């Protein structure tokens, strides 16, 4: 018997895993940012040198010749694990898992030079035009880290587009362990943390915290929605805090998924693992409604309006960056269009009234898997639940 290995056309792989795998160039840049995060960089610099060149520079662990041959040139197998502690004592969960992310480079540009150096090792330079790749030693590199030069950029990175990139990275990266700095001529900005600390009355009317564990949802609401006059009408109710425990299976009654039976669903919910969410509830009201419902504010001073983002540890998952109403809040409220004053309490939160994030973990929620093509999640039973 003979064992066989595929031999692959480099340009085909670059086209398939790079050019066609990303819905936009911002998502491709994010892949390279993730790679810098995964090797412990404290800063990654995205430097638009001129119209045709982008440099991505990190001060992470770097690579030597061995790493290039063993990992960089090995497709479809990631050498990454779960987490590690970086030099500033932050725990980082490595974003990499599939071993294909670097092909984002081929989406961005036609020629690549990668300079890299590991501590105590010789520097290297790797080059490709996506047909042929070469590796050389480079003794001129002094510090550890990696600098990727992308030439012949496919996209026109106008100042507007660069600002859009900043906004995209702000939403898709949710950690402070590594800083992202974007430079282009006069432009020089660090990407900010998107979500502020929830402060009811300041940036939301209510902060809703959800935690899931084994089919139970633990809900806490911290609210500053109603004026003190409201207490007169419901003296037994705490209008500032509300806690509740919900058995998720009960919520599924009448839903198509419930036909699978409680036993099966219960075991799927166990497998789904623990996760949490932190939501900002907000709405602008008319003066009339403010008086009628005893709301405390017409509007809050600040607002967080980005939809609900799904993060797996430090990074959001493609297609869940808050643009799409993936929780189906709009559908739910259209089915139940009652006004807030409806006596049955059938009013539903609208999609434009809630933002915030759901947080899942690489290990804990392993059943929620990214699609290989980076366009979202596998919509399996765990996803539906
Ligand atoms: N900036 C970097 N510094 C050091 N090593 C890097 C860097 N970028 C990539 N690598 C190495 O190249 C390998 C391939 O990266 P790639 O992004 O393709 O895969 P991955 O991160 O392991 O998985 P995923 O496809 O989920 O991103 C990485 O596992 C890592 O060893
Ligand atoms: Mg990666």
Q: Encoding tokens for residue 165?
A: 């990139």
Q: Is the CB of 360 under 6 A from ligand 1?
A: no
**Quick one: which atom of ligand 1 is closest to the CA of 145?**
3
Q: Is the CB of 63 under 6 A from ligand 1?
A: yes
Work out the average pLDDT over 99-121.
96
Checking if the pLDDT of 369 tops 80, the result is: yes
Which candidate, 37, 55, 174, 155, places its Cα nearest to that of 95?
Answer: 37
- Over residues 166-205, the pLDDT tens digits come to 999 999 999 999 999 999 999 999 999 999 999 999 999 9
Spell out the domains of the chain, with CATH numbers in brackets: 10-190 (3.30.565.10), 206-384 (no CATH)
> Residue 348: pLDDT band by 50, 70, 90 thresholds?
confident
- Over residues 141-162, the pLDDT tens digits come to 999 999 999 999 999 999 999 9
- Over residues 314-345, the pLDDT tens digits come to 999 988 999 999 999 998 888 877 776 666 66
Q: Residues 131, 132, 138, 143: is their CA dihedral positive or negative? A: positive
Work out the average pLDDT over 342-361.
87
Alpha helix locations (H) across 23-128? 25-38, 65-67, 104-108
Instruction: Give per-residue burial for 331-363: e unless 16+ CB within 10 Å, then b.
Output: eebeeeeeeeeeeeeeebeebebbbbbbbbbbe
| Nearest protein CA to atom 11 of ligand 1, as residue | 72
Q: Is the CB of 40 under 6 A from ligand 1?
A: no
> Residue 372: pLDDT band by 50, 70, 90 thresholds?
confident
- For residue 340, the model assigns a pLDDT of 66
Instruction: Return the best residue to mutate from 102, 116, 146, 314 for the ligand 1 pocket (most ligand atoms within 8 A of CB).
Output: 102
Q: What is the largest CA-CA distance in the chain?
A: 85
CA distance 278 to 359: 8
| Nearest protein CA to atom 15 of ligand 1, as residue | 102
DSSP string, 132-185: -EEEEE-TT--SSEEEEEEEEESS---HHHHHHHHHHHHHHB--SSSEEEEEET
- For residue 334, the model assigns a pLDDT of 87
User: For strand 43-50 and strand 53-58, is the pairing parallel, antiparallel, or unpaired?
Assistant: antiparallel
- CA–centroid distance, residue 161 to ligand 2 (Å): 23
- For residue 306, the model assigns a pLDDT of 81
Q: Is the CB of 107 under 6 A from ligand 1?
A: no
Q: Encoding tokens for residue 310?
A: 């799904």
Q: Is the CB of 221 under 6 A from ligand 1?
A: no
């Amino acid at each position: 018997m003979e064992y066989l290995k595929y031999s692959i056309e480099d340009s085909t792989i670059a086209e398939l895993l790079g050019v066609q795998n990303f819905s936009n160039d911002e998502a491709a840049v994010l892949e390279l940012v993730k790679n810098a995060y995964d090797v412990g960089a404290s800063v990654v610099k995205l430097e638009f040198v001129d119209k045709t060149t982008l440099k991505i520079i990190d001060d992470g662990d770097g690579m030597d010749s061995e790493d290039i041959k063993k990992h960089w040139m090995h497709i479809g197998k990631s050498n990454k694990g779960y987490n590690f502690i970086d030099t500033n004592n932050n725990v980082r969960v490595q974003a990499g898992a599939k071993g294909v992310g670097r092909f984002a480079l081929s989406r961005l540009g036609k020629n690549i030079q990668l300079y890299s150096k590991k501590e105590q090792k010789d520097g290297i330079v790797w080059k490709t035009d996506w047909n042929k790749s070469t590796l050389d030693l480079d003794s001129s590199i002094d510090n550890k880290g990696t600098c990727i030069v992308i030439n012949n950029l496919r996209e026109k990175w106008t100042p507007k587009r660069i600002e859009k990139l900043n906004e995209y990275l702000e939403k898709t990266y949710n950690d402070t362990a590594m800083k992202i700095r974007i430079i282009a001529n006069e432009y020089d900005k660090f990407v900010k943390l998107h979500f502020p600390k929830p402060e009811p009355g300041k940036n939301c009317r209510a902060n809703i915290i959800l935690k899931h564990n084994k089919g139970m949802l633990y809900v806490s609401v911290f609210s500053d929605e109603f004026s003190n006059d409201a207490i007169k009408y419901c003296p037994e109710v705490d209008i500032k805090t509300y806690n509740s425990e919900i058995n998720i299976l009960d919520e599924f009654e009448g839903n198509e998924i419930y036909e699978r039976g409680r036993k099966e669903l219960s075991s799927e919910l166990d497998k789904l693992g623990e996760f949490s969410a932190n939501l900002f509830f907000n709405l602008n009201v008319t003066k009339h409604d403010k008086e009628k419902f005893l709301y405390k504010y017409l509007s809050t001073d600040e607002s967080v309006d980005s939809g609900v983002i799904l993060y797996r540890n430090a990074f959001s998952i493609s297609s869940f960056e808050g643009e799409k109403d993936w929780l189906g809040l709009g559908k739910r409220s259209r089915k139940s269009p009652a006004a807030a004053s409806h006596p049955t309490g059938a009013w539903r939160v609208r999609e434009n009234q809630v933002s915030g994030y759901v947080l899942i973990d690489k290990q804990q929620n392993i059943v929620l898997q990214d699609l290989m093509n980076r366009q979202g999640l596998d919509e399996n039973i765990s996803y539906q639940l």
